């Protein structure tokens, strides 16, 4: 029973008291994929349907029934749950006036909106007023006779109205206790009255039905002296086990299994699995529920459940042949669950995405019993063929199929209530619509889209919540209300129907008009073109209905394990791309295997040896017009040994083998620093990769790659190729016995190969070769070899080919990083495997990441990506790495409070738990031998440990994390403490004590031999610590390259060292290589060019001693001022930097170098007729002869009279 009143939708004040078992039902943990559901769209299914479907009037709402009938279809509404009302006494053996009025209202709903033969299910309803005292005995217990009499009177009135009562539940949710309807004994007494007492004749053919709120209590209220013909429970508390077991018991007894108050499609799916044959929707039935009712009349192709998470999924082939997937989760007890749908027979499209074999659909849950529970449910369209629905999400013109005109806001209006109409195309924003999927947590069904006007963000709105044919659609403030949501139903050729979530009716042009200004409204489905709409991307700018010509010269060229296609380009102005279609039958029918192809080539890697494939290509334009098919071209893969798939993971899952075997990345899809190449895929325990179904179906195979394993739970997978838990082959870094294991199983035959557990915390090359035997190689060395194999990859013929995930739902996902993943259709030799293992690792030098925090607004918070109305975080200036905050509350912010270095902003972590983090980009997995890490920091509070920069996690499974740059809690010194590839942990403390509310510039360097710490507290960098780390080699002293997060303002593990800072940070920089002091970011950067130059060459900014402008420390006759002016070296004699005079017949020139850094100096060429005479500015022209970016060579030319004397000189002036 929902907490809404059955009478008026108001909120009840009831509080449910739960058993411990009910609370434990919501304790499961979700992973990136919690359950897999395998289905075959070509195979016969099984009959798994509910025989009788119904809607509810216990919640007395005409609208609920109207909406439910619209979505289910009138013929599918077999039952109405109809209430008798013990809140009002019988008067002279009849209903009271108030009870009669309520009866009449219910019956009017039944008569007005259902079929004549729709039957009734009785339940008790006295939720508003409580039970009338007339139904109580003197001791306060229920009077069984009077209760039965009320049921009988209500039955008679229903039969008089022409309706059949099929079943009676005398009590509704008696275990709730809220209404004190009675005990099990009293329920038995009522049933006796109906079965054997004065009312028995009338109820001889009417079933008696139990009821319970909590399915843990269901059997108790069903097992009533063998009176019950029907076992019924709701799913509002209790355990999944009880829910399933109850229905199994009811069926075993030969009784009818029922849920007369379905709150989610999950309850229906699970109920069907365990025998339910009667289901009645509580509230109403919207799109997903209606589609499930219709589809489940067909054949079920697959089912999966997650008992701890109270969630389920299924796939049905509907009677019309369409295939639909469903997910749902408990209204009150769900935990977020990901279901992986796996198509075993063919590639398909899931809601337009594909073609692919596997698709993960998440169904969100809450954080406890009825806490943040969205009661989520959804349907997924599963399709294949030559015409596939486009994926919807973006800004569109909505073009009517019947008129060719567009949906627009009348007059471009912005006021609430402005009419929506069709109009002639002008392309203005008043004719553009932002159509976006609703959030999965919107509440209930999340199949829907919002549709808002581009010019003002207001929504299409079913005006006044109309349920009527012809109800108007107006503009209104966007609130994502149920009357502002639409579901898309694909028709064909790019056209959709748009169906209202509120009414179940369809967006249409009134009266099928072709006129501009004709009204846009909702209407009953009639199959006409005025209810069909093409969603043309607004980026097209305009639209037409003329299809492009078909591509010509299509050629199919075979490769070993793929087929390459090419064709001539189609030359049209609005070409959007091409569609590639394939058939294994000459002449078709064809199925789409690629769309939106930008070029004139395509590689089909989803092919098998021995098969011939026939291809056609179509051209498509931005208006979604498609050409006729090209001429057909055919080919068969030629076979032969080759590299089948090669995933470098350099930022995506693309296949470098050229065979088109791209990996579909699920989960976060984050990339870190690569071991080979530029990137590696971060495997965070929620990320997996799915390879195409044909990639591993070969007699012989080699699977190889670089693996950085973080350690952790047993049974993680490096790869697992198979068809579920009966047929597979996998490689696990650590099986249950503690070994690195390869295992292959098919047809009840299993082979295992075990060797020493995979090393963690470093890059390791692993390979498995499969031929006559199986071999495991680790770092290029043979580690284990099996006896002769009797099962081979081609026997398994796997379709679900996973990297980082398992065929077993309960197994943990891989944690670490993967790089350079390869699959060969051959057994590589030991030498070939060894060659793969010595691939040169990726190297780089220079700045890896640098945050100066100048990209925000003072006071604004860092937040996770996608957070509404928040910043997202700060981006580094080198690679665009995003530093996030955990939330607006628990993340740092930008601060303009006295930042150092002359900057405008710094990162503030002034309150507890306000730290930033980085989870992707080249900093993750960074493992340099030589490095520099810098930051400037101010600590407002210095007691205890304060970690400035840390790495989340520990590669060596130590009590400490991989890296800390911190202020220690021992003696208030800055400390560097880090793990290494070689396993040695190094710790270095600086010498000065750290003061509160003081800015410091801190830098730490390592060249693999010596670890140094540098500190600038305002007067330049000074070395404050040094540690000899040569006990390990430089390679062993490299940072461990953890795939875990970098943290800023906090650390991880080791007790108190997790403490966050209370203060600010700025200028965080990571450099591959050891910087000099001059290259480090100082606390107070020099802005005066003279001071910069003196600091660089003399280590001081003072104009004194050897650093003075008039000094000449190298004795070459060029004083420091001129050395600076000419870009010379004051510490290395070089008189050639001085100016040179050249004379010619009619000109005199002066050539000199000019430093571009000396921006404070002025250079003036002066002339005089005598060396002792007055010098004045020379009259002439200047040209730049050359420049190296720091010094330019200048020529000044003065026209000259050969009969006269002329002298030139260069004056350099300092401020």
Helix/strand/coil (H/E/C) assignment for every residue in 631-646: CCEEECCCCCCCEEEE
965 vs 947: CA distance, rounded Å: 6
Same domain, 675 and 612: no
| Angle (nearest 5°) at CA 1096 between 1092 and 1102 | 60
Range of the domain at 1132: 1120-1213
Residue 728 lies in a domain: yes
What pLDDT, on a 0 to 100 scale, did the predictor assign at position 6? 26
Same domain, 1170 and 1203: yes
Residue 972 lies in a domain: yes
Residue 16 lies in a domain: no
- Given pLDDT bands bounded at 50, 70 and 90, which one contains residue 888? low
Q: What average pLDDT does the segment 925-952 reach?
A: 91
622 vs 618: CA distance, rounded Å: 14
- pLDDT-wise least confident of 92-106, 115-129, 879-893, 1180-1194: 879-893
Strands lying side by side in the sheet with 377-383: 299-306, 311-317, 323-329, 377-383, 348-350, 353-356
- Given pLDDT bands bounded at 50, 70 and 90, which one contains residue 709? very high
1139 vs 1148: CA distance, rounded Å: 13
What pLDDT, on a 0 to 100 scale, did the predictor assign at position 12? 25
- Given pLDDT bands bounded at 50, 70 and 90, which one contains residue 977? very high
Helices assigned H by DSSP within 772-829: 793-796
CB atoms within 10 A of CB 1172: 8
What residues have CB less than 8 Å from 612, skipping those under 6 apart?
584, 634, 635, 636
| Angle (nearest 5°) at CA 194 between 191 and 200 | 145
Peptide bond into 355 cis (omega under 30): yes
- pLDDT-wise least confident of 12-26, 317-331, 1060-1074: 12-26
Q: What is the CATH number of the domain that holds 1188?
A: 2.60.40.10
What pLDDT, on a 0 to 100 scale, did the predictor assign at position 1054? 52
Number of domains composing the chain? 7
Q: Tell me what percent of the residues of the chain surpass a pLDDT of 90.
A: 76
- pLDDT at position 1210 over 70: yes
Which residue among 295, 316, 332 closes a domain?
Answer: 295
What residues have CB less than 8 Å from 386, skipping those under 6 apart?
581, 588, 589, 590, 591, 592
Task: Judge contact between 680 and 819, C-beta under 8 A.
Answer: yes
Helices assigned H by DSSP within 196-350: 218-222, 240-252, 265-273, 287-295
Helices assigned H by DSSP within 613-735: none
Q: How many residues does the chain have?
A: 1215
Q: What is the CATH number of the domain that holds 724?
A: 2.60.120.200
Q: Phi and psi for 679 in degrees, rounded to 5?
A: -140, 165
Same domain, 463 and 563: no
Residue 546 lies in a domain: no
What pLDDT, on a 0 to 100 scale, did the predictor assign at position 107? 99
Same domain, 224 and 88: yes
Task: Judge contact between 980 and 1036, C-beta under 8 A.
Answer: yes
Q: 3-state class of 452 per DSSP?
A: strand
1074 vs 931: CA distance, rounded Å: 5
- pLDDT-wise least confident of 473-477, 549-553, 710-714, 933-937: 710-714
Q: What is the CATH number of the domain that holds 533?
A: 2.80.10.50
What pLDDT, on a 0 to 100 scale, did the predictor assign at position 912? 57
Q: Which of 265, 264, 267, 222 is nearest to 246 (CA)?
A: 222
Same domain, 374 and 398: no
Q: 3-state class of 424 per DSSP?
A: coil
> What Cα–Cα distance (Å) separates residue 341 from each residue in 176, 327, 359, 724, 988?
37, 10, 5, 12, 52
What pLDDT, on a 0 to 100 scale, did the predictor assign at position 29? 30
- pLDDT-wise least confident of 492-501, 628-637, 1189-1198: 1189-1198
Helix count and strand count (H, E) for the chain: 13, 74
Q: How do residues 791-845 score in pLDDT, each as one tens digit?
A: 999 999 999 999 999 999 999 999 999 999 999 999 999 999 999 998 765 555 6
Q: What average pLDDT does the segment 920-935 reach?
A: 92
CB atoms within 10 A of CB 1041: 23
922 vs 840: CA distance, rounded Å: 18
CB atoms within 10 A of CB 308: 19
Intra-chain end-to-end CA distance of the chain, in Å: 86
217 vs 236: CA distance, rounded Å: 11
- Given pLDDT bands bounded at 50, 70 and 90, which one contains residue 1094? confident
What pLDDT, on a 0 to 100 scale, did the predictor assign at position 1145? 58
More confident residue, 775 or 1137: 775
- Name the pairing type of β-strands 1176-1177 and 1162-1168: antiparallel
Which residue among 254, 269, 295 closes a domain?
Answer: 295
Same domain, 570 and 601: yes
- pLDDT at position 1002 over 70: yes
Same domain, 655 and 788: yes
Q: Which of 884, 849, 851, 853 is nearest to 866 (CA)?
A: 884
- pLDDT at position 463 over 90: yes
- pLDDT at position 129 over 80: no
521 vs 470: CA distance, rounded Å: 6
What is the rounded average pLDDT for all residues in the chain? Answer: 91
Task: Judge contact between 56 and 259, C-beta under 8 A.
Answer: no
- pLDDT-wise least confident of 276-290, 765-779, 1084-1098: 1084-1098
Residue 932 forms beta bridges with which residues?
1005, 1071
More confident residue, 1053 or 446: 446
Q: 3-state class of 904 per DSSP?
A: coil
872 vs 893: CA distance, rounded Å: 11
792 vs 728: CA distance, rounded Å: 10
What pLDDT, on a 0 to 100 scale, did the predictor assign at position 891? 78
State the SS3 of 1044-1106: CCEEECCCCECHHHHCCCCEEEEEEEEEECCCCHHHCCCCCCCCCHHHHHHHHHHCCCCCCHH
What pLDDT, on a 0 to 100 scale, did the predictor assign at position 1? 32
Residue 75 lies in a domain: yes
Q: Phi and psi for 467 in degrees, rounded to 5?
A: -110, 10
Q: With 0-12 CB in 10 A as exposed, 13-18 as middle and 19+ as buried, what is 814?
A: buried
- Given pLDDT bands bounded at 50, 70 and 90, which one contains residue 128? low
Q: How do residues 782-793 score in pLDDT, each as one tens digit?
A: 999 999 999 999
- Given pLDDT bands bounded at 50, 70 and 90, which one contains residue 9? very low
Listed as own residue / partner, the contacts of 860-866 with beta carbons closer than 8 Å and 24 or more positions apart are 860/893, 860/894, 861/885, 861/887, 861/888, 861/889, 861/891, 861/892, 861/893, 862/891, 862/892, 862/893, 862/907, 862/916, 863/887, 863/888, 863/891
- pLDDT-wise least confident of 367-376, 385-394, 1082-1091, 1179-1188: 1082-1091
Same domain, 563 and 607: yes
- Given pLDDT bands bounded at 50, 70 and 90, which one contains residue 959? low
Q: What average pLDDT does the segment 436-458 reach?
A: 98
What pLDDT, on a 0 to 100 scale, did the predictor assign at position 255? 98
Same domain, 268 and 315: no
What pLDDT, on a 0 to 100 scale, did the predictor assign at position 28? 28
Same domain, 899 and 1014: yes
- pLDDT at position 574 over 90: yes
1063 vs 1074: CA distance, rounded Å: 28
Same domain, 777 and 652: yes
311 vs 290: CA distance, rounded Å: 19
Q: What average pLDDT does the segment 1201-1209 reach?
A: 78
Residue 470 lies in a domain: yes
Q: Tell me what percent of the residues of the chain surpass a pLDDT of 70.
A: 93
In 3-state terms, the chain is what percent helix, strand and coil (to 5)?
15, 35, 50
Same domain, 290 and 406: no
- pLDDT-wise least confident of 840-844, 897-901, 1154-1158: 840-844
Peptide bond into 589 cis (omega under 30): yes
Which residue among 540, 570, 600 closes a domain?
Answer: 540
What pLDDT, on a 0 to 100 scale, did the predictor assign at position 11? 26
- pLDDT at position 613 over 50: yes
Q: Which residue has the tokens 């078709």?
A: 588
Rg of the chain in Å (alpha carbons): 38
Residue 1085 lies in a domain: no
Q: How do residues 1034-1049 score in pLDDT, each as one tens digit?
A: 999 999 888 888 989 8
Residue 1094 lies in a domain: no
- Given pLDDT bands bounded at 50, 70 and 90, which one contains residue 1072? very high
């Amino acid at each position: 029973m929902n907490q809404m009143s059955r009478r008026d939708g108001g909120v009840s004040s009831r509080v449910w008291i739960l058993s411990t078992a009910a609370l434990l039902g919501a304790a499961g943990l979700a992973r990136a994929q919690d359950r897999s559901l395998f289905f075959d769209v070509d195979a016969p299914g099984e009959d798994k349907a509910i025989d009788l479907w119904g809607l509810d009037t216990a919640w007395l709402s005409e609208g609920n029934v109207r909406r439910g009938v619209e979505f289910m279809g009138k013929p599918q509404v077999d039952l109405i749950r109809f209430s008798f009302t013990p809140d009002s006494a019988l008067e002279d053996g009849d209903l009271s006036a108030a009870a009669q009025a309520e009866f009449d209202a219910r019956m009017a709903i039944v008569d007005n909106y259902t079929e004549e033969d729709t039957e009734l299910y009785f339940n008790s309803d006295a939720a508003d007023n409580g039970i009338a005292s007339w139904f109580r005995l003197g001791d306060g217990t229920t009077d069984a006779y009077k209760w039965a009499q009320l049921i009988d009177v209500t039955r008679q009135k229903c039969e008089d109205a022409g309706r059949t009562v099929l079943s009676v539940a005398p009590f509704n949710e008696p275990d709730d206790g809220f209404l004190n309807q009675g005990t099990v004994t009293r329920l038995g007494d009522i049933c006796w009255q109906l079965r054997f007492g004065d009312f028995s004749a009338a109820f001889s053919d009417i079933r008696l039905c139990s009821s319970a709120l909590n399915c843990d209590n269901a059997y108790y209220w069903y097992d009533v002296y063998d009176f019950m013909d029907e076992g019924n429970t709701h799913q509002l508390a209790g355990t999944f086990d009880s829910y399933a077991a109850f229905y199994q018991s009811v069926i075993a007894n030969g009784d009818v299994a029922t849920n007369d108050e379905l709150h989610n499609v999950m309850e229906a799916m699970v109920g069907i699995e365990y025998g339910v044959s009667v289901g009645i929707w509580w509230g109403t039935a919207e799109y997903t529920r209606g589609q499930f009712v219709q589809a489940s009349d067909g054949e079920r192709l697959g089912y999966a459940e997650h008992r701890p998470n109270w969630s389920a999924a299924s796939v049905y082939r509907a009677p019309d042949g369409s295939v639909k997937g469903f997910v749902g989760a408990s209204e009150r007890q769900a935990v977020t669950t990901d279901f992986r749908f796996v198509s075993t027979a063919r590639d398909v499209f899931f809601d337009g995405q594909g073609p692919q074999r596997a698709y993960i659909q998440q169904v969100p849950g809450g954080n406890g019993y009825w806490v943040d529970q969205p009661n989520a449910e959804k349907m997924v369209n599963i399709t294949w063929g030559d015409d596939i629905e486009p994926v919807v999400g973006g800004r569109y013109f909505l073009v009517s199929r019947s008129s060719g005109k567009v949906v627009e806001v009348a007059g471009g209006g912005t006021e609430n209530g402005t009419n929506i109409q069709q109009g002639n195309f002008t392309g203005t924003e008043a004719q553009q619509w932002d159509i976006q999927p609703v959030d999965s947590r919107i509440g209930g069904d999340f199949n829907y889209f919002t549709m808002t006007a581009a010019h003002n963000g207001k929504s299409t709105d079913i005006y006044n919540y109309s349920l009527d044919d012809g109800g108007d659609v107006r503009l209104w403030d966007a609130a994502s209300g149920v009357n502002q949501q639409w579901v898309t139903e694909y028709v064909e050729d790019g056209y959709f129907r748009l169906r209202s979530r509120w009414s179940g009716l369809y967006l249409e042009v009134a009266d099928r008009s072709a006129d501009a200004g004709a009204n846009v409204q909702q209407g009953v489905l009639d199959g006409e073109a005025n209810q069909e709409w093409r969603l043309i991307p607004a980026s097209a700018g305009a639209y037409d209905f003329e299809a492009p010509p078909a591509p010509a010269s299509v050629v199919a060229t075979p490769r070993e394990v793929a087929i390459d296609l090419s064709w001539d380009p189609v030359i049209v102005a609005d070409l959007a791309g091409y569609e590639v279609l394939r058939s294994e039958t000459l002449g078709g029918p064809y199925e789409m295997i690629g769309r939106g192809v930008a070029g004139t080539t395509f590689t089909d890697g989803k092919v098998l040896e021995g098969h011939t494939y026939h291809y056609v290509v179509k051209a498509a334009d931005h208006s979604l017009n498609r050409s006729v098919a090209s001429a057909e071209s055919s080919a068969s893969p030629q076979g032969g040994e080759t590299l089948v798939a090669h995933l470098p993971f350099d930022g995506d899952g693309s296949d470098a083998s050229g065979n088109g075997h791209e990996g579909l990345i699920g989960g976060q899809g984050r990339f870190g620093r690569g071991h080979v190449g530029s990137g590696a895929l971060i495997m965070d325990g929620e990320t997996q990769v799915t390879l195409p179904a044909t990639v591993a179906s070969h007699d012989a195979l080699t699977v190889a790659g670089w693996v950085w394993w973080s350690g952790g739970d047993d049974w993680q997978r490096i790869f697992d190729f198979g068809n579920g838990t009966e047929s597979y082959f996998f490689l696990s870094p650590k099986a249950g016995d503690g070994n690195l294991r390869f295992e292959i199983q098919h047809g009840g035959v299993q082979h295992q190969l075990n060797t020493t557990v995979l090393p963690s915390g470093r890059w390791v090359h692993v390979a498995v070769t499969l031929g006559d035997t199986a071999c495991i190689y680790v770092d290029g060395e043979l580690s284990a070899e099996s006896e002769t194999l009797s099962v081979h990859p081609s026997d398994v013929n796997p379709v679900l080919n996973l990297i980082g995930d398992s065929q077993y739902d309960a197994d943990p996902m891989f944690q670490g990083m993967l790089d350079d993943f390869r699959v060969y259709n051959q057994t590589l030799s030991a030498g070939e495997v060894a060659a793969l293992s010595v691939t040169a690792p990726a190297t780089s030098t220079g700045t890896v990441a640098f945050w100066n925090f100048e990209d925000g607004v003072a006071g604004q918070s860092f937040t996770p990506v996608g957070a509404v109305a928040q910043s997202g975080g700060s981006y580094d200036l080198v690679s665009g790495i995003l530093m996030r905050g955990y939330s607006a509350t628990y993340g740092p912010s930008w601060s303009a409070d006295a930042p150092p270095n002359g900057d405008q902003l710094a990162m503030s972590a002034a309150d507890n738990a306000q730290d930033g983090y980085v989870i992707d980009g080249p900093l993750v997995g960074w493992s340099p031998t030589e490095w520099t890490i810098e930051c400037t920091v101010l600590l407002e509070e210095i007691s205890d440990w304060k970690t400035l920069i840390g790495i989340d996690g520990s590669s060596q499974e130590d009590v400490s994390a991989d890296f800390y740059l911190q202020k220690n809690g021992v003696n208030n010194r800055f400390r560097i403490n880090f793990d290494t590839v070689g396993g040695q942990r190094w710790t270095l403390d600086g010498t000065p004590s750290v003061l509160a509310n003081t800015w410091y510039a801190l830098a730490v360097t390592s060249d693999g031999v010596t670890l140094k710490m540098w500190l600038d507290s305002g007067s330049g960098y000074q070395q404050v610590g040094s540690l000899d780390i040569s006990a390990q080699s430089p390679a062993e002293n490299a940072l461990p390259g953890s795939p875990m997060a970098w943290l800023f303002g906090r650390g991880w593990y080791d007790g108190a060292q997790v403490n966050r800072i209370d203060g600010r940070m700025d200028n965080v920089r990571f450099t591959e290589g050891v910087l000099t002091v001059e290259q480090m970011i100082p606390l107070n950067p020099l802005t005066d060019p003279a001071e910069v130059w003196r600091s660089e060459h003399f280590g001081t900014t003072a104009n004194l001693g050897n650093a003075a402008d008039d000094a000449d420390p190298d004795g070459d006759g060029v004083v420091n001022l001129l050395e600076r002016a000419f870009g010379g070296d004051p510490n290395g004699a070089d008189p050639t930097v001085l100016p040179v005079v050249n004379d010619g017949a009619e000109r005199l020139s002066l050539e000199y170098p000019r430093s571009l850094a000396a921006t404070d100096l002025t250079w003036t060429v002066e002339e005089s007729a005598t060396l002792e005479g007055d010098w004045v500015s020379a009259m002439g022209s200047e040209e730049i002869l050359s420049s190296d970016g720091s010094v330019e060579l200048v020529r000044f030319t003065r026209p000259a009279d050969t009969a006269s004397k002329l002298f030139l000189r260069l004056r350099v002036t300092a401020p």
